[in-house]
Amino acid sequence: MLTVGPTASSSATTIPVAGGARTFRDFVTAEQCYFHPYGWGSGWPKTPPNFLAFRWGNQVQWLLRVASSEVIPNLQSRWPDMPADGATDQPHMLYHLGPPFPSDGNYRASRVWFVLDQLLVSGSLREAVRLSKLL
C-alpha cells in the first residue's frame, strides 16, 4: 500500500507564502514542487509520502508522485527572493513532483491508502482507493 500525504488546503493556495510573490498553488503548478516544515512544527511527516494530493476549489485537483525529496536548511537556499521570517528560515522538506494523475471528488485533508497498481489501471484516485479496499 502507498500513502498520499496531506492535501494542501483550499485557502492556502491563494495566499502568498511568507508575503512573497508565489502561492503554494504556484509552487505546485508552475515549479512542480511542494515543501513543509521539517523537524519543527506539528504533524509534518519526516518520511516522504509516495504521492501528494493538492486541492483547490474544494476538491482534489492534482495527485502527483513524489519524484524525489530533500531537506533544505531554509526556503531562501532554494528561493533567494522569498522573504525571511520565523517560518521560512528554518529547515524544510522539499518535494520534487512528477506529472499529475487524474483526480476526482472532494477529499478532506487526510491520508488515503491505495495499491499503486490500482491507481495505474483505474484512472482515478477515488476508484484506486475503492478497489484497494476490496483486496
pLDDT of residue 11: 47
Confidence of residue 68 (pLDDT cuts 50, 70, 90): very high
- What is the pLDDT averaged over residues 94-112? 76
Give tens-digit pLDDT for 69-88: 999 999 999 999 999 998 89
Q: What distances in angstroms separate CA 55 from CA 17, 51, 70, 76, 133, one per listed residue? A: 17, 13, 23, 25, 23
Give the predicted TM-score (pTM) of the model: 0.77
DSSP state letters, 113-134: EE-HHHHHHHSSHHHHHHHHHH
DSSP state of 23: B
pLDDT of residue 107: 62
Confidence of residue 2 (pLDDT cuts 50, 70, 90): very low
13 vs 31: which has the higher pLDDT:
31
Domains of the chain and any CATH numbers: 2-134 (2.30.130)
